[in-house]
Amino acid sequence: MSLPKTINELRTSEYKTLSVKEEIKKNLVRRLKDPAPLFPEIVGYDASVIPQIINAHLSFHNMLLLGERGQAKSRILRSLVSLLDPLIPAIKGCEINDNPFSPLCKICRELVSKYGDGVEIEWIERERRYGEKLATPDVAIGDLIGDVDPIKVAEGRYLSDELTIHFGLIPRTNRGIFAINELQDLPERVQVGLFNIMEEGDIQIKGYRIRLPLDILIVATENPEDYTNRGRIITPLKDRFEAQIRTHYPRERNIEVKIMENESKIKPHDGLRLVVPGFMKDIISEITFQARRSPDINQKAGVSVRMTISNYETLLANAERRSIILGEKDIVPRICDLYYLPPSTNGKIELEYTGKEDDETEIVHRFIRKSIKAVFDEYFNPDDFKNVIEVFKKGATMDVSDIMPAVEYFGFLKEFPEFKTKLSVLGLEECNGAYASATEFILESLYLHNLLSKNIVGNKYHYIGSSVKKGYSE
């Protein structure tokens, strides 16, 4: 069925236009009746943030998301596009997507006055009805609201003529959603310019006022005020965001792991298979949780989920490097790969000055050690490996390395058949690499529990009995 092409055809079709907030509510109500997730790409907010977003839309509220970096604020805003109609009609060629039944701009009003219902219309996709601007100190009123176009003035129009205006991003998103990221960085004079357009529906440009009751949903993100000194939101503007919603980091490690898996961009080299034991994923996630609890880290700045994702990708990259060099078909990360994480971690954390002299790399290594130990304690009790510990005390040794072939670990496993049996709780896939990874996990954990000792010999970790040399202590 062809879509109407003129206002007359649109009127004949009995199409009813809704305000953007009414349209979103209509589609939201329909989506809520469906058991499918409202925003499937947003993980970890089902019982906290998303219900508040729903309430904001049902209340026709402009919305401000308040949270530290890496809490999916921008992704939430962009996902709101899915609540818009697939297509809506607008007067053809209009800069501000004018409603055919109630045009705002002077050009469209004159067209309707001259040609009536014969004026042509076009259908606008939902993606074209979303606008976004990253707030920076150099943003001007003209960027968001509009400015006088000197070319139009030079053509002979008076400054007071509405047709001299070059509309900014917000009017050009009329009948849609406009998002402002990092709102606190917007200069105060520009924030003032948003007052009327959000509440009274008029704008002031170069000293004269234009009545322009835009149909728009304005949403924004902000970092907590105590985090940044770059700027702040002035109180009257914050008051115009009827809903202020606090975002948060994942509260459970399995949620962080799920986000990590969804967002990772690693694709194995041709012919290689990726096998990641669950305990390795847990350790990567736990490293981020350790950082979020650490007094060594500036918690006001936050520790983004992006750190977890970057660390996971680095872990897999080092495992892939090993597979390529050794000619192994399986990419399986091991404990020794974790110590390659500082480059992907250091830029994601801000140190808190505590008077200590530890550098970032040492702090990251500390998080890694604590995470290995914490995850081990969830699966095992050190007493589960008494026999292994006793054999090491009698002089047994084991070398591990990030360039050691996985098959070489089986000599150790043959000496301790019950060791392999205990590993069954890890749910390992049946492959050499998985058992090599688990072996390193157990040995390093026993070392961290002071039940084994460890020396670094060249590029290898040399595990020995704790009776031979004093073990690890944090």
Q: What confidence score (pLDDT) does residue 256 get? A: 95
**What does the block give as tokens for 411?**
């000599």
Instruction: Answer yes or no: do 65 and 211 share one domain.
Output: yes
Angle at which helices 253-263 and 305-326 cross, to 10°: 60
Looking at 409-451, list the stretches that DSSP marks H as alpha helix, in order from N- to C-terminal side.
410-415, 417-422, 432-448
Q: Which residues pair with 222 in a beta bridge?
A: 66
| 205 CB-side CA count, 13 A | 27
- Which residue among 199, 219, 246 closes a domain? 246
Inter-helix orientation angle 278-293/305-326, to 10°: 140
How far apart CA 185 and CA 191 sit, in angstroms, is 10
Query: Encoding tokens for residue 287?
Result: 């490293």
Q: What is the pLDDT of residue 113?
A: 93
Same domain membership, residue 446 and residue 305: yes
Tell me, yes or no, whether 238 and 277 share the same domain: no
How many CA atoms within 13 Å lie on the side-chain side of 106?
10
The kind and range of the H/E element at 69 are none
Give yes or no: residues 226 and 264 share one domain.
no
2: in domain? no
pLDDT one digit per residue (tens) for the chain, 474 residues: 689 999 999 999 989 999 999 999 999 999 999 998 999 999 999 999 999 999 999 999 999 999 988 899 999 999 999 999 999 999 999 999 999 999 988 889 999 999 999 999 999 999 999 999 999 888 988 888 877 776 666 666 665 666 677 788 998 999 999 999 999 888 888 888 888 777 776 666 666 566 678 899 999 999 876 444 456 788 888 888 999 999 999 999 999 999 999 998 888 878 889 999 999 999 999 999 999 999 999 888 889 999 999 999 999 999 999 999 999 999 999 999 999 999 999 888 988 876 666 688 899 999 999 999 999 999 999 999 998 888 888 888 899 999 999 999 888 877 777 777 888 899 988 899 999 999 999 999 999 999 999 998 878 899 998 754 444 555
Q: Which two tokens stand for residue 38?
A: 């409202």
The verdict on residue 472 lying in a domain is: no
User: Residue 422: what pLDDT?
Assistant: 83
| Residue among 178, 182, 181 at smallest CA distance from 167 | 178
In-domain check, residue 149: yes
Same domain, 85 and 214: yes
Order across the sheet with 452-457: list the strands: 398-400, 460-465, 452-457
Beta-strand ranges (E) seen in 84-157 are: 87-91, 121-125, 130-134, 146-148
Q: Are residues 239 and 282 in the same domain?
A: no
Whose structure tokens read 């949270």? 67
In-domain check, residue 473: no
Which domain does 265 fall in, by range? 253-465
User: Does residue 126 fall inside a structural domain?
Assistant: yes
Q: Tell me which of 226, 246, 266 is where a domain ends.
A: 246
* C-alpha span between 120 and 10 (Å, rounded): 10
pLDDT value, residue 468: 47
Residues 216 and 282 in one domain: no
**In 3-state terms, what secondary structure has residue 140?**
coil
CB burial of residue 390 (10 Å; 0-12, 13-18, 19+): exposed
Structure tokens at 283: 């350790």
Sequence-separated (6 or more) residues with CB below 8 Å from residue 430: none
Q: What type of residue is 202? A: D
3-state secondary structure of 210: strand
Domain co-membership, 137 together with 221: yes
Residue 175 region by backbone torsions, left for phi larger than 0, else alpha for psi between -120 and 50, else beta: left
Please tell me the distance from the alpha carbon of residue 437 to that of residue 435, in angstroms, as a whole number. 5
What are the b/e assignments for 339-368, b being 16+ CB within 10 Å?
ebbbebbeebbebeeeeeeeeeeebbbebb
H or E element, residue 209: strand 208-211
SS3 36: coil
DSSP type of residue 431: S
**471 inside domain:** no
Q: Is residue 470 part of a domain?
A: no
Of 208, 139, 177, which Cα lies nearest the Cα of 56?
Answer: 177
- Provide the number of structural domains found in the chain: 2
**Is 474 contained in some domain?**
no
**Is the same domain home to 200 and 343?**
no
182 lies in the same domain as 323: no
CA angle 430, 435, 438 (to 5 degrees): 130
CA pair distance 119, 102, nearest whole angstrom? 13
Same domain, 237 and 96: yes
3-class state of residue 261 by DSSP: helix
Of the three residues 246, 271, 306, the one that is the final residue of a domain is 246
> Residue 113 is part of a domain; what is its CATH number?
3.40.50.300
- 230 and 260 share a domain? no
Tokens of 274: 């990726």
